[in-house]
Structure 1
């Protein structure tokens, strides 16, 4: 039985849910392996050979080799696991996040310090510009019956 997933209606957003977790299991296990120095050294010595030791899809391996974190997430990668790839490459989480947005680290930092990304263009597609996504339905707190 397919679950209703209204959160899939958010432009440019990949939600890590149970389906994504199953899809990315081996990708995330590979990332976890990078916690050990000897595995990081083996990976850096021959990335393709190390990836081939894992039962990952070709799309997952290609995304890792390209360091395309958005593609890794689309293939089931969880950003907290994927951060280990960045750490292996000597990147900060901020540098990785900037690369995922197409911004330089400096532009990404400035955006975040200035209050983050604008809500415009980042709402559920079904919402209009005046929608308030966290509205409470009638009969909830703040509403009384006469």
Structure 2
């Protein structure tokens, strides 16, 4: 992207990435159902195959690699469903994206919130 800066932990989510991540995001959306979460926990490999994840996506799921899931086309809002299975929340995802601990990420959010708004 011309004129854009790379930001650690981010993958621009455009149409190409959305298409690449469709199977992964579809699978993560399925975790809205408690029954599906249990089915996933019972046999992760079979569940990933049923949704057609590619090897990069499946490996990132196996490793619980949030940045890898983003790079593989995952959308953070859908990945939050997967993170919930692991007992993680959106702040955990934000910490992973920024390379900070969760505590440091939360402190950064508080510090940014304390800054006066400029127009």
TM-score over 0.5 (shorter chain):
yes
Structure 1 residue 81 and structure 2 residue 78: aligned?
Answer: yes
Q: What secondary structure sits across from 2:97 in the alignment?
A: helix
Counterpart of 1:20? 17
The answer on whether the counterparts of 1:8 and 1:15 sit within 8 Å (CA) in structure 2 is no
Q: 5 Å matches for 1:54-65?
A: 54-65=51-62
Bigger fraction of residues in helix: 2
Structure 1 residue 96 and structure 2 residue 107: aligned?
Answer: no
Counterpart of 1:30? 27
Cα separation, 2, equivalents of 1:91 and 1:74: 19
Q: 5 Å matches for 1:1-146?
A: 5-6=1-2, 9-12=5-8, 13-115=10-112
Please list every run of 5 or more consecutive structure 1 residues that lacks an aligned counterpart in the other structure.
117-146
Cα RMSD of the aligned pairs, angstroms, is 1.7
Residues matched between the structures, number: 112
The answer on whether the counterparts of 1:27 and 1:76 sit within 8 Å (CA) in structure 2 is yes
Q: TM-score, normalised by structure 2?
A: 0.84
Higher relative contact order (CA 8 A, sep 6+): 2
For residue 9 of structure 1, report the CA deviation from its aligned partner: 4.0
Cα separation, 2, equivalents of 1:52 and 1:104: 32
Counterpart of 1:137? none
Please list every run of 5 or more consecutive structure 2 residues that lacks an aligned counterpart in the other structure.
114-119
Which protein is bigger by CA-based radius of gyration? 1
Q: TM-score, normalised by structure 1?
A: 0.70
